[in-house]
Amino acid sequence: MSVTVRVPAKVNVQLAVGAARPDGFHPLANVFLAVGLYDEITVTPADELRVTCDGPDADQVPLDGTNLAARAAQALAERYGRSPDVHLHIAKDIPVAGGMAGGSADGAGALVACDALWQTGAPRDELLEICAELGSDVPFSLVGGAALGIGRGEQLTPLEVGGTFHWVFAMARRGLSTPAVFREFDRLGEGTDIPEPVASGELLAALAKGDPDALAAAVSNDLQPAALSLFPELAATLAAGRAAGALTALVSGSGPTTAFLVRDPESAAAVAQALLASGTCRTVRTASGPAPGATVAGR
């Protein structure tokens, strides 16, 4: 008996970041859009908790107790007074350390998979609570679609989306650490007045209408200057995608994956090809959103 759960990647179409709180976290207005690049997490009963991973970036995934999938299984087992003796296998297609919530996806996926395997019947609110303990982006990986996240990004309000948005993603030659990018944000903002983060009305309207031009005009990422400061080569990737006809180009979350909004699948293919030819990235992927959240794909 095993259960497989499919979980999407995300792109942040708006990431507004406020000044660091006393706990070190930053208040966010984080507009998430789930896109159709997926990790699949399969859980099978085993003698003890263990994690394996395959896929193009598998060698970069930690398989110890720090893995969010392992931590999710442990957290759920603890709540229901059972042992977390399962084998978690991650079929990884979401870029690692890329700013696309790959680790968060594995946490949410393992939680849903263990819940189904153990027939815990945990209420959705309880699963979301465990997700929020695992990480700021993990609740969104569970719900998918599009949502506004406030607080650390974990307090979600689902958003209406009136169409499909087409994207190209360029994966960089190395990763970026999210805490390091937030630290650089703090450093760059020292001595300046950082406004409270608020969601953009234009951006929410563009999502609701399904209008790619309006969305392109409204996207923003307050972490982008920090990501570019730590990884200056990303500017060339952004420029290459813009030159190839992308409606807009931005760093995805804390980066270093860069995201290019395009009008349709044909221009996605053209922008993807131009990005590869530019030699400014490791690889490219195309995907559209919104995509559904963590879903049982087989048992």
The catalytic residue positions are: 10, 137
Residue 103, annotated as binding a ligand: yes
Interface region with ligand C5P, contact rule CB under 6 A, candidates 25-33, 157-165, 196-204, 286-294: 25-33
* Options 13, 28, 113, 161; binder of ligand C5P; rule CB under 6 A: 28
Backbone angles phi, psi at 43, to 5 degrees: -115, 135
Residue range at the interface with ligand C5P (CB under 6 A); choices 21-29, 87-95, 202-210, 229-237: 21-29
* Closest separation in Å from C-beta 25 to ligand C5P: 4
**Alpha-carbon distance 152 to 149, whole Å?**
8
Could you tell me the smallest distance in angstroms from the CB atom of residue 142 to ligand C5P? 14
Closer to ligand C5P by Cβ: residue 25 or 292: 25
Cβ atoms of 196 and 26 closer than 8 Å = no
Does 140 bind ligand C5P (CB under 6 A)? Our answer is no
| 154 or 261: CB nearest ligand C5P | 154
Minimum Å gap between C-beta 107 and ligand C5P is 9
- x/- mask, ligand C5P, residues 151-180, rule CB under 6 A, reads -xx------------------------xx-
CB of 160 to ligand C5P, least distance (A): 24
The CA distance from 247 to 226, in Å, is 23
Q: Does 102 bind ligand C5P (CB under 6 A)?
A: no
The residues of the shown chain that bind ligand C5P, judged by CB under 6 A, are 25-26, 28, 135-137, 152-153, 178-179, 182
